[in-house]
Amino acid sequence: MAKQPSNKDMAMSEMSNRIFFRLYQCANMMHKTGTRALEEYGITTQQWAVLGALTRPQAAGGMQVGDLAKFLLVSRQNLTGVINRMERDGYIERVKDASDGRSRRVRLTGRGERVWQSITPLIYAYYDEALKEFSFNDRVGFFHHLNSLLGNMERL
């Protein structure tokens, strides 16, 4: 006969369900409100993430699409549509990889760099408003817990 779950086990499962559903809601709300925050530029949160990834010093020479997809934790298929739109709008370009002529790298154009510089203050204002009730230590702890959760999920 199967063992009945304890009240503590049931409470833990229910809390886990609430946490993951809240994360789902937060992700959806971030896409909605983040895109609204950058509305005047026509930049979506997906495009914002690509721009941010490509402005990092380690991406100065661009990134291969597969590496960019791994960094952003998205599929190549989902990223391809975003990249195509961003290339069409002149924010990024695909160039031959200097070390492997068969590969392509995605890198920012001058327009992409200028747009990133323009939207960065809006992004930080968005962050500040979204996290306004969090102290610095709260933010550090929250980041730590999200990082742990991400690591656990990556091992699944």
In the 3-class helix/strand/coil scheme, how is 95-109 assigned residue by residue? EEECCEEEEEEEEEC
Query: Which residues of the chain, if any, have pLDDT below 50?
Result: none
Cα gap 66→76, rounded to integer Å: 6
Q: What is the pLDDT of residue 71?
A: 97
Q: What is the pLDDT of residue 82?
A: 97
Indicate yes or no: pTM above 0.75.
yes
Angle at 97 between CA 42 and CA 115, to 5 degrees: 20
Q: What is the pLDDT of residue 85?
A: 96
Task: Please choose, from the candidates 82, 21, 14, the residue with its C-alpha nearest in 3D space to the C-alpha of residue 46.
Answer: 82
Query: What are the tens digits of pLDDT across the range 53-97?
Result: 999 999 998 999 999 999 999 999 999 999 999 999 999 999 988
Q: Where are the beta strands (DSSP E) in the chain?
A: 63-64, 92-97, 100-108
Helix (H, G, I), strand (E, B) or coil at 93: strand
